[in-house]
Structure 1
């Protein structure tokens, strides 16, 4: 393992050239920071984190929607990471402290089980990228109880990448694509970025060697004057992805547009439940009326961090007012959040 990593690092240095590579996966950032991968790379090879944390990307408006439902007496179920993500005036954890019935679940199946046992309405706040959307679709197709519904906060990675490329704000030259998302969607959705914008791309796994190999493969493409999608994570990702999961998502969801945290409205970037399944769409089932949300707490630069134009260390709140135990911004809440990861590993250096 050590010999292979040394060989990869040596080859990276041999063909190194100035490049800004963006990844969009919290697990990739965790690996990079935990193992000091950036310290192994030449200074001119920059790897930046993009919007790879699904919890962080949920905007304040959708947190506010769930809080409004909770105040109406609806039982809210969601992942533990969602509890402390800030809305415009507090979080679901605050609502629970005030007496709202907000419960942590490990998945949508647990939420359905709770609905079967309760004699009141239960809503599952469905956060996540294409990785978790199939499980939500599958439960809806299975016919959950009438008192169950979903507030869909599912988001799609390729439209966000297109937005970042076209905005020019990041000036990225290459992409490391997320392994988990790619097991579902395959390779094809990324192809336009190479074809239309000349962006080299590599789908990567999650150990340090995967990341180093992805960087090497990108530099090799650049050296050869190529721009294509390569699959380093072939042990898990098929070129076509998971067809059955794609079919379930297509049947249950329609693609629409909404804002992301730190982003404006991104076209075709959100999954909403189709009209045929409106009985299980919390936005259709309940009268949810929330005001325009205040997106960013004062001083927090989470939006810029999610767009890849800033690092946590540049935030004046980082490690002072904003910590994992008392997070100010969404990027500090989840263990997949860039700020949370930086808090735990930013002092680490490979000797």
Structure 2
């Protein structure tokens, strides 16, 4: 078990990284796909202690950021047409093609900020009791939040019994994604130079290590699941470099105090009962094979698309915004002409500036612009 406050251990990890980097005669690019990892890296200045030939690249680790403009515009369309929209706080502020849900609320639309799907169900029950409008929960997130959506839909479906029709007034706008497929896509595209991955700790508590085995083997890219303290990140970098030096790419678990190799079996069963893999687009990416989750036939009664005839919504390009390139790891927030001014946390122009997990928001917060 790692003592996360052991300064001696932190020093040894930094020394180990430097020794390993001396054995590598070329530049190494390590990507992470987790906003919490970027917080740690920026807050504690981890990039500043790395050798010049070791670069850590922020990737698409924020579920709010990778939700497409089309999905946000869909939520806005539903709100404009009388639905109550229940959403997590960050999604409330993400710009759509013309406005955000927050701006729409100021115009009189019924938009509610909730802590999770359970709160949205409570709102729906209350409105059903009072003969008020239907509620749509914007279900976003990776494998970490998908189990909560699955658990609630399992419960609602059991209450309906053999009734195949959704007689309640609760629906979801399903925006769930799976993380390992986007890592596979990034490695296969070759557009971003990636020599290894720091795998997301939160996601891995659910998935375990299995989803990383295939891309690791296919592309020969070291993959290490890491926790969120500075020592976790430093040790994971050292583990990746050791694999590169020894030419032994594999999946390793640095975060053993939080992640079991098999993951959370109960959560996996719930996800697999309610959802199945689906090919979906991420913001800044084309359609990614198995990059999302769609409701299985038994649960499509809760899908708002099966209840409402929603028109085709075209995405609008935001001039000057490079969130797409940032999410793909091709550019940094400081490469964007809008970064800081006019795009800032109080006036987010791109999705990466909205959430606490967004790369632009993190860079802005810590003023850590050096990579």
Structure 2 match to 1:186: 208
In the alignment, structure 1 residue 206 sits paired with structure 2 residue 228: yes
SS at match of 2:90: helix
For the aligned residue pairs, the C-alpha RMSD in angstroms reads 1.2
Is contact 1:23-1:47 (8 Å) kept? yes
Aligned partner of 1:118 among 127, 132, 147: 127
Pairs within 5 Å for 1:218-229: 218-229=240-251
In the alignment, structure 1 residue 313 sits paired with structure 2 residue 318: no
Q: Deviation of residue 116 (structure 1)?
A: 1.0
SS at match of 1:288: coil
Whole-angstrom distance in 2 between the partners of 1:251 and 1:7: 45
Structure 1 match to 2:144: 131
Is contact 1:255-1:269 (8 Å) kept? yes
Whole-angstrom distance in 2 between the partners of 1:315 and 1:147: 43
SS at match of 1:153: strand
In the alignment, structure 1 residue 83 sits paired with structure 2 residue 65: no
The TM-score with structure 2 as length reference comes to 0.92
Pairs within 5 Å for 1:125-204: 125-143=138-156, 146-204=168-226
Structure 1 match to 2:163: none
SS at match of 1:76: strand
Aligned partner of 2:111 among 96, 102, 105: 102
In the alignment, structure 1 residue 303 sits paired with structure 2 residue 308: no
Q: Deviation of residue 347 (structure 1)?
A: 4.3
Structure 2 match to 1:265: 287
Aligned partner of 2:268 among 246, 253, 258: 246
Is contact 1:148-1:280 (8 Å) kept? yes
Is the alpha carbon distance of 1:321 and 1:348 closer, same or farther for their aligned partners in structure 2, counting shifts above 3 Å?
A: closer
Unaligned runs of 5+ in 1: none
Structure 1 match to 2:367: 346
Structure 2 match to 1:292: 314
Whole-angstrom distance in 1 between the partners of 2:324 and 2:273: 32
The TM-score with structure 1 as length reference comes to 0.97
Is contact 1:253-1:271 (8 Å) kept? yes
Structure 2 match to 1:5: 10
Aligned partner of 2:67 among 53, 58, 65: 58
In the alignment, structure 1 residue 327 sits paired with structure 2 residue 348: yes
Whole-angstrom distance in 1 between the partners of 2:216 and 2:233: 20
Aligned partner of 1:93 among 84, 102, 112: 102
Whole-angstrom distance in 2 between the partners of 1:19 and 1:39: 15
Unaligned runs of 5+ in 2: 1-5, 158-166
SS at match of 1:289: coil
Is contact 1:68-1:290 (8 Å) kept? no
Q: Deviation of residue 290 (structure 1)?
A: 3.5
Q: Deviation of residue 348 (structure 1)?
A: 8.1
Structure 1 match to 2:305: 283
Is contact 2:348-2:354 (8 Å) kept? yes
SS at match of 2:270: helix
Q: Deviation of residue 346 (structure 1)?
A: 2.2
Q: Deviation of residue 236 (structure 1)?
A: 1.1
Aligned residue pairs: how many?
Answer: 348
Query: Deviating runs (4+, > 4 A) in structure 1?
Result: none
Tell me which moved more, 217-226 or 340-349: 340-349
